[in-house]
Structure 1
Amino acid sequence: MDVPSWIWTLTAVGIVGLLLFDFFFHVRKAHVPTLREAAVWSALYVGVAVLFGLGVLVFGGGTAGGEYFAGYLTEKALSVDNLFVFLIIMGSFRVPREDQQKVLLFGIVFALVARTAFIFVGAGLINSFAWVFYLFGLVLILTAGNMLKSESSGEGHQGENIMVRLARKVVHTSEEYDGDKLFTTVDGKRVLTPMLLVMVAIGGTDILFALDSIPAIFGLTQNTFIVFTATAFSLLGLRQLFFLIEGLLDRLIYLSYGLAAILAFIGVKLVLHALHENNLPFVNGGEHVDVVEISTGLSLSVILGVLVVTVVASLVSKKGRAQTAIGNARRHATEYLDLGYTADLAERERIYAKLVQEREQIAALEEKYRPLLRDEPELTAMIERCEAQHAELSTR
C-alpha cells in the first residue's frame, strides 16, 4: 500500500491536533476525571481508531486493513500492560490525583515521539538488512520468556523498575509538589519538584517499552504507515483508559500470559519470514528457506482470540477478584492517609467508599486465597487508621 505524502501530513496533523485538544480542554486545568468522562472519551478514541482502520480497509484493501487491526490490538494490549507500571510509578512518587492526567499525557507524547523514531529506524534497517527479522524475532521470543518467568516467580509488575531507581539517584528534588510545576522555590532557592522526577521515570520507561512494542508490530506488517498509525492510535486515549480501568488492573491476572503468547507467536512469525527472505550465507547457503509463512488473517485471529480468552478468564477468576480487592484496598488506604494526595473532598469520599467495599470483600475471602493477603496486620492497621480519620472528619 503506497501512501502519498499528503496523507502522511494530514494523518500527522490530525494526531497532533487530538493531543493538543486533549491538553487544552482536559488536562490543562488540574482535576480528577469522573468515571463517565473517562468512559466517554475512551470510547471516542477507540471509535476514531476503528474508523481510521475501516478507511485503511476500504482504500488499502483487506490485507492492509487486517494488518492495521492486528497491529492496533497488539499495541493496545501492550499499552494496557504498561499502565501497570505507570500506576506503580505514580504511586511510588505520590503524584497528586489532580495532576496524574498531565503526567500520563506527557508519557503518551514522549512514547509517541520515541516510538516514531524507533519505527523509522526499524524500517530503515528492515529495508537494508533482511537479517533484522531474525533479531526482532529473537527479541520477542526472549521478551515472552521473561514475561512468563516474572509471572511464575510472583514478581509481575511489583516494585520499581530500573528507570525509577535511576531517576531517584540522578535527579534531586524538593520534598513536596507545587501543583504541576517542574520548578519551585524553597528557602529562597529555585529547585526541581518531584514532578520532573516522575516525568523522567515515565519517559525512560517508555523507551524500554518500545523495545518490545516496535518489533512486535513489525512482525505483523512492514508498511511504515500502518506501523505508525496503529502505534499512534493505540496510545491516544490511554490517559482516559487509565482512569477507567485502574481499579481493574490487578484483576487482569492472566494478561501477561496472553501477551507472552502473542509476542512468542509474532516472534515465530518473524523468524519464519526471515527464513523465507534469508540471505545469510551460513543459513542454507544464503538461499531462502521454503517454510510456511503465517498469514495476516491467521495473525489477527490468534491475537484477538488470545486477548479475549485471557481477559475473560481474568474477569471470571475468583483469584483475580481476591487479588484486586487486596491490591486496591492497600492502594486506597495509602491514598486516603496521604493528605497531600488530593484536595478534592469528593475524591477523598470516593476513595473511602471504595476502601469500605474492598474491606468487606477481603473479610469474605475464601481460606485458600488468604495467602494472597501479604502483611495482613499492616493492611488491617491502615484500614483502621482510615476509619478513625474518616470518623474524625465526619464529626467536624
Structure 2
Amino acid sequence: MTSPPVDRLPPLTPHGGPAVPALPWPLLQSIAAVANAPLTSIAEELRKALDPYLGSSALVIFTEDCTGRPQKKAGLESIISGVSIDELDSLRASLSGEEPWVGEAVIAAKERPVFAMKYLSSRALLVLTDPAVPGPVAGNADADLDIAKYLWHLAAHRIHEKVADAPPAYLLESRAASAERLRVTSELVDQHATTLEIVAGALRSTALDDAAARAAATDLVAKALVRLRTLSDRTTDLIEEPVAKAFERLREDLLPLTRFSGVEVQFVEPPLNGRALPGEVAHAARAIVRGLLLAMLDQPEVRRVRAQWDCDGENLLINVRDDGGGTLAADASSLGRLDRRVQALDGKMQVDVMAGWGADVSVTLPLDAPQAAPADVSAWKLGSRELEVLQHLASGQRNRSIAGALNISENTVKFHVGNIFRKMGVTSRTEAIALANSFGLR
C-alpha cells in the first residue's frame, strides 16, 4: 500500500495544541480499513470511520476519477438512491478551497443540513447529510475535525491512486457501469424531451386562450428542455475524456519521472479532432504507458523513449519504443501485468524486441465495448428469477435495491446472488457484472 503524500493530509493534532503522542487503537483500525477498502466499499468504510467524530444519515463521495460510478454512497437508502450528479456538481462549484463547509443544500431533491469538503488534487467532494458530532472523542472538537479531514483526504487519495493504477478488475467494472449509465440516461433524456416537446407544441397552439399564460408556459418548457440536454451532456462529459486532454494528463503525470531520469522522452500527440476516449480507456492508456516507460527506463543504455497515441475512430493506438540494446524481455512479469490491463478492455498488445535495436510495444484499445448475443448466457442455466436478479446486478444495483424492485426480501436476493456466482463460475460482484455485460446482458 502506497501512503498518501504527507503534504496532502492534515496533521492529526488539535488546532494550536501539542502533537498527539499516540493514536487510539480504534482510529488506527479505521485508517487501515479506509486505506485497504476496495472502491466498491470505500464509502461505507469511510462512513464507519467518521461516525465517532462526525455522524451522518448518509455519506456521498463525488469523484470524476471514477467515470463509471462517480458517486460512492453509504447510509440512508432514501438519500443515496435519490442524490443526483447535478446536485453534487452545484454544491462542489459553490465551495472554495478544502476547508469544511456546513449549511443547507439540496440533496436527493430536498434541502438538508450538510457537511461538505473538497479534495483539490482530484476535485473530489465529500458530502455528509444531517451531520452530528457525537464526541468529542478526542476531548477537543477541533481535534475531531482534524481527524475527519485526515480520513477524508486518505479516502480521496486512495480513490485517485486506485483509478490511476487502472487494475483489470476496475477497468471491467467501469466499462460495464459507463455503458449502462449512458444507456439509461439517453433513454430518460429522449423520453422526457419528447414529452416536453409535445407540451410545448400544445401550448404554442393558437387554439388556446390566454396568450400570456401560453407564452410563460412555453418559456418554462423551453428552459426545461435546455436543462435536460445540459444534464445529458454532463453525463457524457463524466464518462468520456477528449483524447488530447487525456494525452496532456499523461505528459503531466510523467513529468516528475522523466525530469530526473537522464533519458529524453518524446511525446507524439494524437490528432486534436480524435474521438473522445471512454474514461476507463483513458485511465488504462495512461497506466499502460507509465508502466512501459518504467520497464524501458530500467534497461541499461536507453537514452531515448518515444511515446505516441493515435486514434483511428474505433481504437486508441499506443506505441512506445526505446533506443536501448533490446534487453527488455517480451515475457517479463511487468509486461504481463500491463497485458492483463489491455485484455480487460478486449485490446491487444504486441511486443517486438530486437537485440541492438531496442524494444517496440504497440497497444490497440477498442473504444467501444464488444457486443455479444444475450442468448449466450443460456450456458449458465440460470432460473428466470436468477436472470432477473443478474440483470439488476449488472446495472450496478445493490441487494436492497434489487429486493425492492423484485418485491422479495434482501436475504432472498443474497441467496440468488450466491447461486448466480456459482453457476457463472465467479467469486465477486465485479466479476459477475463484467461477465454479464460482456455477454450483452444489461
- Where is the helix percentage greater, Structure 1 or Structure 2? 1
- TM-score (ref. length: structure 2): 0.27
Greater relative contact order (CA < 8 Å, ≥ 6 in sequence): 1
- TM-score (ref. length: structure 1): 0.29
Rg: which structure is higher? 2
- Where is the strand percentage greater, Structure 1 or Structure 2? 2
